[in-house]
A and B are shown apart, each in its own frame.
Chain A
Amino acid sequence: MTQPILQCKRLTKVFGAKTALAEVSLELPKGKIIGLLGPNGSGKTTLIKLAAGLLKPSEGEIRVDGNLPGIETKAVVSYLPERTYLSDWMRVCDVLDFFEDFYADFDRARAVDMLERLDITTSAKIKTMSKGTKEKVQLILVMSRKASLYLLDEPIGGVDPAARDYILNTIISNYDTNATVIISTHLIADIEQVLDEVVFISKGNVVLHSSVDEIREQNGKSVDDLFREVFKC
């Protein structure tokens, strides 16, 4: 059997008195697009940050392609944070230089090509961009790496529906079939068509891990409808 790209064993993260993740055990395979779904404050971002190596587990462990988070895993993980980290003074070409310096697997030509298709010139300043455009630039950068694991934290939150479609298309057309993409979101209806599997997370626990077609087959309803049922307030 091939090794899972992401493996959590009794993974726990505590912030002071608050338990963000409680003994999560989870294995995610290679070559899939996986939705990490849960209401606000359920632990989605915490899990992604642990996988990205930005947080350390309080208990248990998390492994990326068999390795504990560190230099090796950061080289194969492409992470899109929920907040933009591009500095205002930069132009698009500066950011491209930046990524080229940092990541050996960055494909500059691909990034430039995608930017051109969105009419974003490389001389454009980050400062003058709208929030949505910044998000698009950042997603293009992240998807232009040839990573094994893409971690996208709320990639479609701040953009209009047309841009959302564009972003989803970018994800479908750019990930290679051995890579896994994890997308965290609560906008399920918009993305469920592109997902292989979904992980429902609630109050720091994984409550469901299943394929989208299995959910539809067994419940006769969409993932979005099931989510509304499971997390009914």
Chain B
Amino acid sequence: MAWDLKNDRPIYLQLIEEIQRRIAAGIYYPGEKLDSVRDMAQQASVNPNTMQKALSELERDGLVYSQRTNGRYITEETEIIEKLKSDLASKQTDEFFEKMYQLGFNASQIISFVKQKANTNE
């Protein structure tokens, strides 16, 4: 799994977003033990301190928890994961709407466009 990091934004934010994405997508499943900070840093080719910072933030949000000496785990509380999923979905939708507005569509045009797409994709 590649960690695709962009150049113009803080690295720890991008690490947070990537880990969130993996949790939401089920790549990291509830209760899964994460690799050590050092290993994760190496996989992402980033500084361990930066990875540490990202994981601390995720811990603060309750998405991961640590067991003192035993390492870090993905939360088992499904509500937190569901909340994350809906937050991410909402963000995606906002971005989509924003782009469609920029192209000159109004809300009802966008909705009928989406419906049409959904039908052809089924």
Binding site for B on A (CB under 8 A): 31-33, 165, 168-169, 172-173, 177, 189, 193-196, 212-213, 216-217, 220-222, 224-225
Q: Is B5 a contact partner of A193 (Cβ separation < 8 A)? A: yes
Give chain A nearest CB distance to B43 CB in angstroms. 10
Q: Is A172 a contact partner of B8 (Cβ separation < 8 A)? A: no
Picked from B7, B11, B41, B48, the residue with its CB within 8 Å of the CB of A213 is B11
Picked from A31, A196, A221, the residue with its CB within 8 Å of the CB of B7 is A221
Give chain A nearest CB distance to B28 CB in angstroms. 22
Give chain B nearest CB distance to A195 CB in angstroms. 6
Write out the residue numbers on chain B whose beta carbons fall within 8 Å of the beta carbon of A193.
5, 11, 45-47
Q: Does B26 lie at the interface of the complex (its beta carbon under 8 Å from any beta carbon of A)? A: no
Give chain B nearest CB distance to A29 CB in angstroms. 11
Write out the residue numbers on chain A whose beta carbons fall within 8 Å of the beta carbon of B5.
193
Give chain A nearest CB distance to B34 CB in angstroms. 17
Q: Is A216 a contact partner of B9 (Cβ separation < 8 A)? A: yes
Binding site for A on B (CB under 8 A): 5, 7-13, 38, 41-42, 45-50
Write out the residue numbers on chain B whose beta carbons fall within 8 Å of the beta carbon of A189.
7
Q: Bound state CA distance, A168 and B45, in angstroms?
A: 8
Give chain A nearest CB distance to B66 CB in angstroms. 16
Q: Is B10 a contact partner of A217 (Cβ separation < 8 A)? A: yes
Picked from A169, A177, A213, A224, the residue with its CB within 8 Å of the CB of B10 is A213
Write out the residue numbers on chain A whose beta carbons fall within 8 Å of the beta carbon of B38.
172-173
Write out the residue numbers on chain A whose beta carbons fall within 8 Å of the beta carbon of B13.
213
Write out the residue numbers on chain B whose beta carbons fall within 8 Å of the beta carbon of A213.
10-13, 50
Write out the residue numbers on chain B whose beta carbons fall within 8 Å of the beta carbon of A217.
10
Give chain A nearest CB distance to B47 CB in angstroms. 5
Q: Is B47 a contact partner of A196 (Cβ separation < 8 A)? A: yes
Q: Bound state CA distance, A34 and B45, in angstroms?
A: 15
Q: Is B11 a contact partner of A177 (Cβ separation < 8 A)? A: no
Picked from A165, A195, A220, the residue with its CB within 8 Å of the CB of B47 is A195
Q: Bound state CA distance, A213 and B16, in angstroms?
A: 13
Q: Is B48 a contact partner of A172 (Cβ separation < 8 A)? A: yes
Q: Is A224 a contact partner of B7 (Cβ separation < 8 A)? A: yes
Chain B minimum-CB-distance residue to A213: B10
Give chain B nearest CB distance to A221 CB in angstroms. 5
Q: Is A165 a contact partner of B11 (Cβ separation < 8 A)? A: no
Picked from B8, B9, B42, B47, the residue with its CB within 8 Å of the CB of A33 is B47
Q: Is B46 a contact partner of A221 (Cβ separation < 8 A)? A: no
Give chain A nearest CB distance to B112 CB in angstroms. 37
Give chain B nearest CB distance to A177 CB in angstroms. 7
Write out the residue numbers on chain B whose beta carbons fall within 8 Å of the beta carbon of A195.
47
Q: Bound state CA distance, A217 and B10, in angstroms?
A: 6
Q: Bound state CA distance, A31 and B37, in angstroms?
A: 15
Write out the residue numbers on chain B whose beta carbons fall within 8 Å of the beta carbon of A194.
45-47
Q: Is A173 a contact partner of B7 (Cβ separation < 8 A)? A: no
Write out the residue numbers on chain B whose beta carbons fall within 8 Å of the beta carbon of A177.
48-49
Q: Is A212 a contact partner of B49 (Cβ separation < 8 A)? A: no
Write out the residue numbers on chain A whose beta carbons fall within 8 Å of the beta carbon of B12.
213
Give chain B nearest CB distance to A30 CB in angstroms. 11
Q: Is B11 a contact partner of A196 (Cβ separation < 8 A)? A: no
Q: Is A222 a contact partner of B11 (Cβ separation < 8 A)? A: no
Q: Bound state CA distance, A213 and B13, in angstroms?
A: 9
A-B contact pairs, 25 of them (CB 8 A): A32-B49, A33-B47, A33-B49, A165-B45, A168-B45, A169-B42, A172-B45, A172-B46, A173-B42, A177-B48, A193-B45, A193-B46, A193-B47, A196-B47, A212-B10, A212-B11, A213-B10, A216-B8, A216-B10, A216-B11, A217-B10, A221-B7, A222-B7, A224-B7, A225-B7
